[in-house]
Structures are given as structure tokens and as C-alpha cells.
Structure 1
Amino acid sequence: MTDNSGLIAQVLQAIDYQVLAESTAMTYRDMLKAIHPDKCSHPSAQEATKRLIELFRHFGNGSVFTDDSGKFLTNNHWVLFQGDKQAVAQAKRNQEEVAVAAPKHFRRYMPYSWDADDSFLLSQRAVPLVNLTLPQEHVNWVVSRLLEFCMLLHRHTGCAHLGLTPAQVMLVPETHGIAVAGFYHLAALSGKVRTISGAYRHWYPGQLLRDKKATENADLEMVKRIGAYLLGDRSGLGTALRKTQPREFVDFLLSSDDDSLVCYEKYREMLDRNFPSQFIHLNI
């Protein structure tokens, strides 16, 4: 029997099967054979074998999530929608129309291409925000990216997304970027809002629910709800964070803004006052 401690360590530290396979230059079968307890004497062989199987299954089949169209699968490299086909088709049309007219800088927030009517391929590994809790320093940049997305969307397209929820936003850990999908509810600013996310109805500002008119404020409010969600307040309301997070950051989450450019600039100034400027790798 062999020890294979180096490979064991790589498997246990791996977060993505494709990255693991590329770094080891080994097939799944070869890795499994090398670390299986029947062949490997390392004390963590059984744990590493279980981890490898989980990574491989996720890469091959994806994991199940739910968004406004229903269930979808993703392995962080592709997304396959299995829900309401009409809703998915509408989201696809909306996203493609936005992307066509968008400047290059804005398109980096949509790093994917549709390869079928119900699926798209991601150009970089991206992880849905669903059920994630992140440290403050990582929430800072996620909110920053989302606010910039809103500013560019509002200024360059004259539209509001109106569906910025944890299932519609994915992290791109290697670049500290985000991927925004789920353009189900896109509407022209000041235009009529025809649909919203039922699961996150409480995240929308009361004025939008009353007037049914698309506003910049609605997108900005949902970004702030995501910020609270990622800090561990699953309600997204943020009030529960007052005792645990920096006061000025929580005050920002609880404030209301109507202009995405002004909001983005205010947010960046707040970060400069309260946090050091640094790049901290996100191992997720």
C-alpha cells in the first residue's frame, strides 16, 4: 500500500473538480485508485475518497437550486434551467438584448453565453450566493460589484433588473467578480413592473409594490438586502447586524437611495473610511 499524502492533501483542499484534475493531470479513475483506502495507507484516505466522489458528482451532474423559474442545476461552469420554459425564454431574451447594447466593461458582469434555450456556459467558475455566509471583507466587494452593475445597467440601458436575489447572482472567486443572471423581471425605468420575485417579495421597496413602476431604488434596495444576507441575516433586512458589524456599513444597508451613481460613490467613500484597501483571496 502507498501513502500518497500529496494527492490526499490536494483532494481535501480542492473546491472544484475541474481545477483539481488540471492541477494533478490525473483522470478521476486514476485519482480514485490512488487514494482509495484499499490501496492507500494514509489515515485520511477514506475522507479524501468521499471528497473526490462528491466533487466529481457535482462536476458531472450539478447541484440543484431554485430561482424564479423553478429548479436549475449548476456545477459552477454551466447552468441548466429545468423550470418554467416561458420564464426562462423571457430571461434569455432580456439578457441578450441588454448584452448587445452594453459596453465591454458592463458585459463582464454577464460572463456567460447561452448554448441552448435552457442553458448557458460560464467563462469562469461561478458560485451561486444561495446559502452563503461571507466575512465582512468579501461582502464589501460583492456589494461594490453589484452597485456598479446597477449603475451601468441603469445608465447604459435605461432598465432595472428587479430580480437581484441570491439565486440570480454568482460569485467569481478567482477574480473577485460576479455574474448576474435571472433577467426575468427586467423593465424600463419608470415603466410598468409586470412581475417580481415571489420568494423575495419582502425585499422590494413598498413604493414599487404600490406603484408598480420600475425604479433605480428597487435594484439598490435588493443589493443591500443581499449584503445583509451574505453577512448572515437571512431576512436581508439588516437590523440584526447592528451588534456584530461595523456601524457605518449597517447604516448604509438600512439607508435608502434613489440614484445608483450617487449610491455607488457614497458606498465607496464609506469603505475608504472604514476598511483597508486589500485583496483577500476567497477560497470557495
Structure 2
Amino acid sequence: MRAPHFNALHPPEDEDLNFREILKMIHPDKCKHPMAQEATNHLLAIHRHFVHGSEFADDAGGFLSNDYWVNYMGEPAIIDHGRKMQREIAARAPEHLRRYMPYTWDTTSSLLMEQRAIPLVNLTLPQEHVNWVLSRLLEFCMLLHRHTGRAHLGLTPAQVLLVPETHGIAVAGFYHTAPLGGPVKTISGAFRHWYPATLLADKKATENADLEMVKRIGAYLLGDRSGLGTSLLKTHHRGFIEFLLSSDDDSLACYEKYRAILDQNFPSQFIHLNI
């Protein structure tokens, strides 16, 4: 799990307690607790993340994020193309689809998030949280395909951000977007093995390609970093993993099938994600 975010370091009754005051309280020079040094190092790491952001790799080259902003540092031409594609899609999208893009472009290479949003990179989540992440992603695909006629084609852990407080997600990185049925010009090289063989052979954008990548994210979040999911059959809900291993060509039918699996096998409840 990622370290707690900086705004969660103190309870509401201590709203005026700032970083330096907390540091003085727990620093080994003042605090004699045997874990004072560990706590100090942890606090410094949280503060560095909050002020400077942590670095992640993506298809453009890399970006910094502190969970409240994203600053892309990679190839300017690729970043610019992704920004233009995202804004073009958002301009023609219905309100519900735009909710999956809860950010504004502060500059041509930086995003400001409406709420705290965490990249999925290196995250492992319990089954009950992976359930709703996949539900959001499949709904995003269904809305994107039905209302814009486009495929995202780059749904990787770096391009999907988790909004823990609301059980929401934010989707970015529209570098590879293409019209459904149209030619695919680029893919994510680092996640080439996540794409279906038919897309690699035909080089045509399909709903199936986005759905396959969503399922790979599901396996990734359950702890299988390959995204393939077969190793999870003995450790996780079999029906859920079999869904991840199946193939679907229609995003609406896939979403409805997935919702039926959740309704039949898991309780419907909001479980707070402390991350």
C-alpha cells in the first residue's frame, strides 16, 4: 500500500498542526520512542511525495504525481497528441463519461485533479475493491465505445487513477486512441503482451482490445503483475478469475455480464478504502 496522503497526517481537531510541528514531535532528538527514526523517515517520505510528487513511467516517457496533480515530463509531441485526443473526446462525451475524466489541463503538460487520485502503478488491492475498480473501467469502456465510437487502447496501470474517497477512477493517457474499426497506429510497448493477438495482427481498433486490457488490470490489482490471471485461479474467486480469462467483443454485453457476476457472488456495500 502507498503511504497515507499528507492531508491525513493529523485528525480534524488538529487542523493547524503543520509538517514542521509534527516533525518536531516525532524526531529522535525530541522523541525517545524506539520507532521515532522510522516514523520520521516515513513522514519525510510522505512530505516529499506531497510537495514534489513521485515519478512514474508511462508511454510518453514519464510523469510526476502527488495524487492531486500530474505533471508529464516525457516526449512533448506524444503528450500534446494525448491531450488533444482527450479534449476532443471530452467535448463530445455525455456528462456520465466526462466523470471519468475528473481533471483539467493546467498547462499543456499538467493535469489538476478534482479529487485525490492515485495511479494504479504497483498497487495491490483486496478483491472487494478490485470489484468496483473493474466495474468503473468496464462502464468507461462501454460509454466511450457507444458515445464516441472510439477505443482508448492504452488502459494500463499508469493511465488509470484511483479516487479512493468516492470509489471512482480517472482515465488519462489517450495517446493511442483510435476510431473503432480504424487503423491502430501505436500501442503501449511496455504492455504489448496485454493486447489481444487479433489487434496485433489486424491493427484495427476494437472494443475487445479495451476489454482485454481492463481484465489484465483486474489481475494486476489482485497481485498478478503479468496481468494474465491464470495464477489466481487457486487463490481467488473462481468465477471472477474465469471472467478475467474470458474474451468479450461487445462492451455493453461484457459490462452486463460482469455486473451479474458481482450481484450473484459478492455483497453490495461501500467499503472504505484506506490508502
Which TM-score band (shorter chain)? Answer: over 0.9
Query: How many angstroms apart in 1 are the aligned matches of 2:234 and 2:186?
Result: 35
Q: Which amino acid aligns with 1:281?
A: H
> Which residue is equivalent to 1:217?
208
**Paired letter, 1:49:** T
Q: Deviations over 1:108-155 (max 9, x none)?
A: 111111101111111111111111111111111111000000001011
3-state SS of 1:264 partner = helix
CA–CA distance in 1 between the matches of 2:240 and 2:161?
A: 22
Partner of 2:4: 15
Give the counterpart of 2:274 among 261, 269, 283: 283
Count of aligned pairs between the two proteins: 272
**Separation in 1, partners of 2:38, 2:18:** 19
Following superposition, the deviation at residue 43 of structure 1 comes to: 4.2
CA drift at 1:34: 2.4
Return the letter of the residue paired with 1:142: V
Q: Quote the offset at 1:268 in angstroms.
A: 0.3
Shift of residue 280, structure 1, vs aligned partner: 1.2
Q: 1:245 to 1:256 in 2, by over 3 A?
A: same
* Amino acid corresponding to residue 119 of structure 1 in structure 2: S
Instruction: Pick from 242, 253, 257 the counterpart of residue 262 of structure 1.
Output: 253
- Which whole-Å CA distance do the structure 1 matches of 2:175 and 2:3 have between them? 34
Q: Is the 8 A contact 1:144 1:267 kept in 2?
A: yes
Map of 2:88 onto structure 1:
97
1:42 is displaced (CA, Å) by 4.0
Residue 194 (1) aligns with residue 185 (2): yes
Give the 5 Å matches for 1:73-112. 73-112=64-103
Give the SS at the match of 2:165: helix
Q: Paired residue for 2:44?
A: 53
Matched residue, 1:244: 235
User: Structure 2 CA distance, aligned partners of 1:262 and 1:281?
Assistant: 29
1:185 Cα offset (Å): 0.3
TM-score between both structures, scaled by the size of structure 1: 0.92
Query: Which residues of structure 1 form unaligned runs of 5+?
Result: 1-12
Q: 1:104 to 1:210 in 2, by over 3 A?
A: same
State how far apart, in whole Å, the 1-side matches of 2:92 and 2:10 are.
38
What are structure 2's unaligned runs of at least 5 residues? none
Q: Distance in 2 between matches of 1:251 and 1:202?
A: 19
Q: Which residue of 2 aligns with 1:144?
A: 135
Equivalent residue runs for 1:114-193 within 5 Å: 114-193=105-184
Distance (whole Å) between structure 1 residues aligned to residue 228 and residue 24 of structure 2: 49
Distance in 2 separating the partners of 1:123 and 1:26 = 24
8 Å Cα contact 1:203-1:236 kept in structure 2: yes
Q: TM-score, normalised by structure 2?
A: 0.95
Structure 2 Cα separation of the partners of residues 171 and 116 of structure 1: 22
Secondary structure in structure 2 of the residue aligned to 1:175: coil
Cα displacement (A) at 1:22: 8.0
Aligned residue for 1:80, secondary structure, equals strand
Q: Percent identity at matched positions?
A: 69
Is the 8 Å Cα contact of residues 21 and 28 (structure 1) preserved in structure 2? no
Deviation at 1:271, TM superposition (A): 0.8
Which residue does the alignment assign to 2:224?
A: 233
CA distance in 1 between counterparts of 2:74 and 2:106 reads 17
Q: 2:196 aligns with which of 183, 195, 205?
A: 205
Query: Which letter does structure 2 place at the counterpart of 1:97?
Result: E
Question: Does 1:272 find its partner at 2:253?
Answer: no
